[in-house]
A and B are shown apart, each in its own frame.
Chain A
Amino acid sequence: MKNGDFTLNRRHTLGLMGAAGLVAAVPGFGPRAAFAQDAPSGQVIVGFSQEPTVFNPHLPHIEVDEGIHYAIFDPLFDVDTDGTFYPLLATEVPTIENGGISPDGLEWRITLRDDVKWHDGEPFTAEDVKFTLELLNNPDFRAWRRVGTELVRDITVVSPTEITWRLDQAYAPFAAILASTFILPKHAFDGVDPNEAPFNNAPIGTGAFKWKNRISGDHIELAANADYFGDGPYLETVVIKYIPDMTVMYTQFKSGDIDVIALQWISPDHYEEARNLPDRVVEIVGSPFFESIQFNMERPQFKDPAVRQALYLALDKPSIIEALYYGVPPETETFMPQESYYYNPDLPKHEFSIEKANALLDEAGWARGADGVREKDGVRLAFKNSTTAGNELREQVQQFVQQVWKEIGVEIEISNLPPAVMWGDYWSMGQYDTTLVGLSVLAGPDPDCSDFFRSDASPALGGTGQNYWAYANPEVDTLLAEGASLFSPEERLPIYLRLQEIIRDDLPFLPIYQYAVIPGYKTGLEGYAPNINNRIDTWNLRSWRWT
């Protein structure tokens, strides 16, 4: 070969390929260099009907704010659609098998990636993880959630890529809590009050998208993070658009002004039309919330299980769902969403039968009085049902139920209150008789619902928790304690299946339907995947792309 004259013959080609192979084998130069992805391209406009305003993920916020958090930040690991944990900032998900968690569940050791940079170029280290966990326990910081993280002690930074800590008690839901704990950069908070740091309006994360711009009251622009450590992002820009009215948002979805219609999605009355729109994909997706009529178990009427069962028999669920909700949300017998790994599909199916309800009450000694209302031992089956005032659909449900229950000798008085009053002391201190409410007793993918069903978790009875219906069952207490202390899903499954059986039997609430939402997006957008384990559509924004 002459100088300056480079020709590729077979030997040289093989040599070059060998060299490339060597380079690929060096950690850090591996798959990323060998399979370089195309530069991110394209723009997606996502419509939300509420405005994200809180950009520090650990300040009190609502669902819609998380839409931004998922794009800008990463947690140590997250949960995908079928409940499996996958690592993000950590190199692997800590388990008992791989030594990340000690067998007693108390000692945790996490190894972190070494190739992660913050959006401002600073390297991500274990100091940032320590800072985030300590921030949550800082009493002067307005943390939105301390459950789980308040158990963390002795956080030690072993090296920039390794961190350990100890939990005060074995708490299985901690993994799920970590999965929704976004890591913040320590250096952005040096010397500032975290409640008012400039970071809160110009967040810096490790995520697939960088904060670009915000027009308050209108939209937020995010730009691709070209140095993202993981797979993605494929889009160059993401615009989060705020459209306050759902009808207007749906119209803009139809006209193509927005590409994805996210929270609060399409309303059931538009579903028929929406699913037939050309070039749009519209689906019904389950949500972790369920609608039910809840009993205040301290009221004398509801202490008799026959009453609760009879009321369930007299609840015309199919009609409610068909007529008022256009058949969109699925019926349910439990508080567990159908998409969850822990869902019990074998619970007894609800039956609507006025005759059986009447027979049950007759048998239990509830005789009809002169005014048609049943009573027994001086207690009349007459009580109030309350919900958020102004929710027309719920008001129709109440009127419907009131009508049907008259046939079994039960009289309900509809007494609705504005949300702030209804869900204040009236509900949490057990001043209500029954409510009509949409609730989620799960916090993320973890099935632990102790806070809602443990007998000592009722504020009205002097406990701390969210057991607002004063439900008490000793077997449930035992199951809950056991479930929360085990770490393996296979071991926990039978516990939560049995739990659902007992609660279905006890009926502290009458489950009506599981909430379903109706998201939609333009044909050609890939990557959108509903995830029951995360609260918002943009949980995997890094994977979205146009085809």
Chain B
Amino acid sequence: MARYLLSRLGQSIVLLVLVSLIGFFVLNLAPGGPLSQFALTPGMTRDELDRIAEQMGLNRPLVIQYAEWFWRLLQGDWGNSFRDGRPVLEIIGDHLFATLLLMGTSMALSIVIGVWIGVRSAMRAGSFFDYASTVFAMVALSIPTFWFGLVAIYVFSLWLGWLPAGNMYNIGDGSFGDYAIHLVMPSIVLALVNVAIWSRYMRSATLDVLGQDFIRTAHAKGLTSRRIVFKHIMGNTLVPMIALTGLQLPSLLGGALVTETVFTWPGMGRLLLDSLGYNDYPVIMGLLMFSALMVIFSNLLADILVALVDPRIRLE
């Protein structure tokens, strides 16, 4: 196990360096820069812009800028935002809770509902329920989140007035109930697509298992459906479930750009969007490294869990 972890660690480091290199150079190659937002400010002259660029060190060769950034990163200094000058880690930390809350809730919802729909469809393959859930999945996968979110706001906030139109909490409130009611719409809208994904995935995974001989044996033995589902089927679909969760885990901390924009949710997705819009390089690089770390970590976790759960799989 230790040898396995060590080799994965080595791979991860190489991967992270590659990601940071590519990210940094592509970012700087794109036209514009952190100062392009000031180009049309009344009174701003070219000389002024050049001088500011000089002071920010943006005129130095790219390789030097990258090397300095990387060196500081190794020492734990992720840099400071070009916009408000605060440390990148602090800014990311600020947005972490909002993202976890939204993504965690929506993931939990989508797994629970999606798995239930998927397994049930597979068990009742060909029934009305199966057909209806297939249609539902196709529709949910096709609906643009932006549109659906706005429609939901229109119906539930403007027309019915049941739910707030956005934000994470009412300023001045902040009680548990306040957070809860603000969470309802965005997490459901976000969960919609994932429910579709999980239900399709679980349906096919379950069908796979159902086709196996040992299930027929279990039925022949006289086990109840409930026992068959929970003991035998779920046990065997656990591996694909872990694999899918591993794939989705990075988005837990990556946030959802569109939903966060529509529901004015101050999460990581919006942070990335804003930083990209203003070419806030330190924050973008920070988010890039963060999400790369998440991907590597999630994959590692999934691989280990799968090996733990399934005795047939050996880590090497």
- State the A residues within 8 Å of B (CB): 43, 45, 51, 53-55, 60, 62, 140, 142, 144-147, 195-196, 200-201, 215-219, 221, 237, 239, 241, 243-245, 247-248, 251-252, 254-255, 257, 418-421, 423-424, 428, 439-440, 442-444, 451, 459, 464-466
B167 within 8 A of A: yes
Q: Are A420 and B31 closer than 8 Å at their CB atoms?
A: yes
Interface residues of chain B: helix, strand, loop or mixed (majority): loop
Give every chain B residue within 8 A of A144 (Cβ-Cβ): 38, 41, 44, 48
Q: Are B84 and A200 closer than 8 Å at their CB atoms?
A: yes
Nearest Cβ distance between residue A305 and chain B, in whole angstroms?
28
- From B150, B171, B270, A221 is in contact (CB under 8 Å) with B171
Q: Are A420 and B154 closer than 8 Å at their CB atoms?
A: no
Q: Are B42 and A216 closer than 8 Å at their CB atoms?
A: no
Cα distance A195–B56 in the bound complex, in angstroms: 10
- From A219, A239, A248, B262 is in contact (CB under 8 Å) with A248
Cα distance A217–B287 in the bound complex, in angstroms: 15
Give every chain B residue within 8 A of A239 (Cβ-Cβ): 171
Q: Which one of B7-15, B113-121, B158-166 is at the interface?
A: B158-166
- From A237, A248, A444, B261 is in contact (CB under 8 Å) with A248
Cα distance A428–B50 in the bound complex, in angstroms: 13
B43 within 8 A of A: yes
Give every chain A residue within 8 A of B81 (Cβ-Cβ): 53
Give every chain B residue within 8 A of A423 (Cβ-Cβ): 36, 39-40
Q: Are B95 and A465 closer than 8 Å at their CB atoms?
A: no
Cα distance A248–B41 in the bound complex, in angstroms: 26
Contact (A251, B154) CB under 8 Å given A420-B31, A428-B46: yes
B37 within 8 A of A: yes
Q: Are A419 and B32 closer than 8 Å at their CB atoms?
A: yes
Nearest Cβ distance between residue B147 and chain A, in whole angstroms?
11
Q: Are A251 and B38 closer than 8 Å at their CB atoms?
A: no
- From B43, B48, B94, B150, A216 is in contact (CB under 8 Å) with B94
Give every chain A residue within 8 A of B104 (Cβ-Cβ): none
Q: Are A244 and B274 closer than 8 Å at their CB atoms?
A: yes
Q: Are A421 and B84 closer than 8 Å at their CB atoms?
A: no
Chain A to chain B: the 4 pairs with minimum beta-carbon distance, closest first:
A420-B32, A218-B266, A53-B83, A420-B36
Nearest Cβ distance between residue A239 and chain B, in whole angstroms?
5
Give every chain B residue within 8 A of A451 (Cβ-Cβ): 45
- From B91, B167, B266, A257 is in contact (CB under 8 Å) with B167
Q: Mark B256-279, 1 if CB is under 8 A from A, else 0.
A: 000001111010001101100000
Cα distance A420–B95 in the bound complex, in angstroms: 29
Besides A216-B86, A443-B43, 13 more A-B contacts (Cβ < 8 Å) are A53-B84, A55-B84, A60-B52, A140-B55, A195-B55, A216-B84, A248-B166, A248-B261, A248-B263, A251-B165, A254-B158, A255-B165, A444-B42
Nearest Cβ distance between residue B262 and chain A, in whole angstroms?
6
Give every chain A residue within 8 A of B91 (Cβ-Cβ): 216
Q: Are A217 and B39 closer than 8 Å at their CB atoms?
A: no
B172 within 8 A of A: yes
